[in-house]
Structure 1
Amino acid sequence: MTALSVDIRVDFPGFALEVVHGFEGQGLTALFGPSGCGKSTLLRVIAGFETSARGRLAYGDEVWLNGRRGLAPHRRGVGYVFQDTRLFPHLSVRGNLDYADKRAADLPARYGFDDVVNALDLGPLFGRGATTLSGGERQRVAMGRALLSRPRLLLMDEPLAALDTRRKGEILPYIARLPGVFGVPVIYVTHAIEEVTQLADRIVALEAGRVVAAGGVAETLERLDLAGVQGRFEAGAVLAGHVVAQDVDMHLTRVDLGGGLALEVPEIRLPVGEAVRLRVRARDVALALARPAGVSIRNMLEAEVLRVEVEAETAYAEVLLALGGQHLRARVTRAALRDLEVVPGQKLVAMIKAAAFDRQALPRG
């Protein structure tokens, strides 16, 4: 269901943002791409902050931009969470929340003040000043304030960019719950693949001011033609599975991928049966003609070659593999490709070190 219809253009010296896309009215859509590709500018256009935009922007039957004439930001019913939070420094946490709640008192909503406070665990922070909060606490308060404005659409502009890995891990579960708990669609700007993997229902990928891909998380990230968006170093695929066992002594978790395939990864603190998505970087996948013996690699998966893409001006090649009903990417040298005589349809063993799943590649409990 398309809720937000975008057909806009913004011109800057040496750069133009030109986007035609329909955003769905549910779940979380990640607006993803490298720095400078136009992600934050597009968010500003949607919010009504970018007055130089032209084109057409509509939310359902309500037109927000027609030509150069735009509806004022405060009339669009959009909540906005900034990277720098922009909390009122002279107010307490309770004061920041009350400000938004009172301004939106007459607007319809499926939730109330206490629902937001409880969902984001904000009660213990009420008496604190905004300037005394940690980065993660500030972002939780900023999310709460945005939700209390009773938005129809929530925009989040790289809210985790300034946080370290531990703080990101604390905030990600809160963000993941927002669409389901509050029934508000979210457009989430990021250039971090691990955030896309753990949060997004779908991706809109931007490069040089244009949409270059859009769709589900797994099918978009596995595409071999999006190196400019993901970057060669972080490019990879997403595997979906369920936690089936915990090795408490070794701090390892076993994830069933379906079709008789499973992965062993460093401990994920989630209960057995919980669904997970795992990001596997292409550079962490090795290929073999047969399952080797006497090696430390914990994960060896039977795979079939679907596609091979050679980078003629480099030492490397990308291989797309089928793992049952899912896909995996491997980045290997052209010499390895030659020696293994890799061709589409060939059966290989894909090998992934358990240690390749670092903290940023794993979901949090």
Structure 2
Amino acid sequence: MIDLRFALQLGELSLDVDVALPPRGISAIFGRSGAGKTSLINAVAGVLTPQQGHIRVGDRVFFDHAAGINLPIEARGIGYVFQDARLFPHLSVAGNLRYGLNRARGARPVDWGSVIEVLGLADLLARRPHQLSGGERQRVALGRALLRQPALLLMDEPLASLDAPRKAEVMPYIERLAQEFALPVLYVSHSIEEVTRLADHLVIVSDGRTVASGELSDIMSRPEHAPLIGRYEAGSVLDCTVLQHNDDYALTTLRFADGQLRVPRIDLDMGVAVRVRIRARDVALALSRPMDVSISNKLPGRIAGITPREGPYADVAVDLGSTSLRALVTRESCDRLGLQIGTAVWAMVKSVALDSRSVGFNRRPRPDRAD
């Protein structure tokens, strides 16, 4: 477990952190610019020193104010990937990677060949940084950080400087490294798309405080977090598996615990686990099963909660059985339809709303995955 409980005053920012994170997988540190995300991981790295509290990673104590412990940066065994790759321009890709390997502290056995294979670096080893694309540079930076054999990998908005195609290039590598090397990753981002695709655990930071922490699907589904995630980006996250493909219409059918979803075709084999983010604004509600409509995804459920929002909106939670969806509708629609807790409804989700930004590979095996 990663136990972070500390306070840090940095200029006008008062950082108050109190979270326990899982010992492996990607924990996203999410929040708006200036919320304190980077300061949080810099304290974990040892770049900043809190005024009180403790920082523990597994059985190692990085910082404990009461006990007078404050390990220097080089003794913490941290791998750090920044927004810009920060490669040495006079070294080849192989030279940059060896720089990380030569500073390995042996916290985790990460070997050269595994890093090259997982990050797809074999064809890049002889090149210099100026000969690489932005996505390739970030993959090399990831490899250098991994070859230090860190106990913990910190990533500070590593995709923020990349355009959409380069982001799409790098994200599968980040997904795979978390799976292959089984190390904990703290991933800072203000992009809910990145967070939903990559993270297992979500920490929301607002005005210097860690206001929510837990499994991503749980945190995303709570209506009280919508103002922090973004009214039009908040929604639900469903764990699914690929059921079948329809090449004639370029569609894929996904199975989840309470039904099926049709989405634009995704290039994954049957049985592969995926995670789907459904924005509340993309869910419509009906009192009876819609028949003559173009929307393919129609799911029966019952109203589990209605939370009024600022302005004309209300956040409606729909219980599908063992999973739930959220719908952002007007309060007028709630009154007109007579919606209340227990009302039977049909939730409708457009397939076109579930594009590649909403569907991502899920590293965790599903317990109900088909053989």
Question: What SS class does the counterpart of residue 226 from structure 1 fall into?
Answer: helix
- The alpha carbon displacement at 1:162 in A equals 1.6
Q: Tell me the TM-score normalised to structure 2 length.
A: 0.93
> Is the Cα–Cα contact under 8 Å of residues 87 and 142 in structure 1 kept in the other structure?
yes
1:361 aligns with 2:361: no
- Matched with 1:281 is 279
- CA distance in 2 between partners of 1:255 and 1:79 (Å): 36
Closer, same or farther: CA 58–292 of 1 in aligned 2, 3 Å? closer
- CA distance in 2 between partners of 1:301 and 1:353 (Å): 12
Question: What SS class does the counterpart of residue 223 from structure 2 fall into?
Answer: coil
- CA distance in 1 between partners of 2:56 and 2:107 (Å): 20
- Matched with 1:254 is 253
| Identity fraction in percent | 44
- Matched with 1:187 is 186
- The alpha carbon displacement at 1:39 in A equals 0.9
Matches within 5 A, 1:194-213: 194-213=193-212
Deviation digits for residues 90-147 of structure 1, max 9, x if unmatched? 211111001111222x625423111111111111011111122111101100000000
AA of the residue aligned to 1:89: P
AA of the residue aligned to 1:91: L
> Is the Cα–Cα contact under 8 Å of residues 285 and 330 in structure 1 kept in the other structure?
yes
- The alpha carbon displacement at 1:293 in A equals 2.4
- Matched with 1:77 is 77
AA of the residue aligned to 1:330: A
Question: What SS class does the counterpart of residue 166 from structure 1 fall into?
Answer: helix
- How many equivalent pairs are there? 360
1:347 aligns with 2:344: yes
Question: What SS class does the counterpart of residue 80 from structure 1 fall into?
Answer: strand
- CA distance in 2 between partners of 1:314 and 1:109 (Å): 52
Question: What SS class does the counterpart of residue 225 from structure 1 fall into?
Answer: helix
1:33 aligns with 2:55: no
Closer, same or farther: CA 202–364 of 1 in aligned 2, 3 Å? closer
1:44 aligns with 2:37: no
- The alpha carbon displacement at 1:53 in A equals 5.0
> Is the Cα–Cα contact under 8 Å of residues 275 and 361 in structure 2 kept in the other structure?
no
Structure 2, unmatched stretches of 5+, are: 363-371
- The alpha carbon displacement at 1:364 in A equals 5.7
- The alpha carbon displacement at 1:232 in A equals 0.4
- The alpha carbon displacement at 1:149 in A equals 0.6
1:271 aligns with 2:269: yes
CA RMSD of aligned residues (A): 1.7
Deviation digits for residues 192-219 of structure 1, max 9, x if unmatched? 2222222212111111111111111111
Matches within 5 A, 1:264-343: 264-311=262-309, 313-343=310-340
Structure 1, unmatched stretches of 5+, are: none
Runs of 4+ deviating beyond 4 Å: none
Question: What SS class does the counterpart of residue 336 from structure 1 fall into?
Answer: helix
Deviation digits for residues 261-303 of structure 1, max 9, x if unmatched? 1111111111111111100000000111112222111111101
AA of the residue aligned to 2:337: L
- The alpha carbon displacement at 1:227 in A equals 2.1
> Is the Cα–Cα contact under 8 Å of residues 107 and 151 in structure 2 kept in the other structure?
no
1:132 aligns with 2:98: no
- The alpha carbon displacement at 1:330 in A equals 0.3
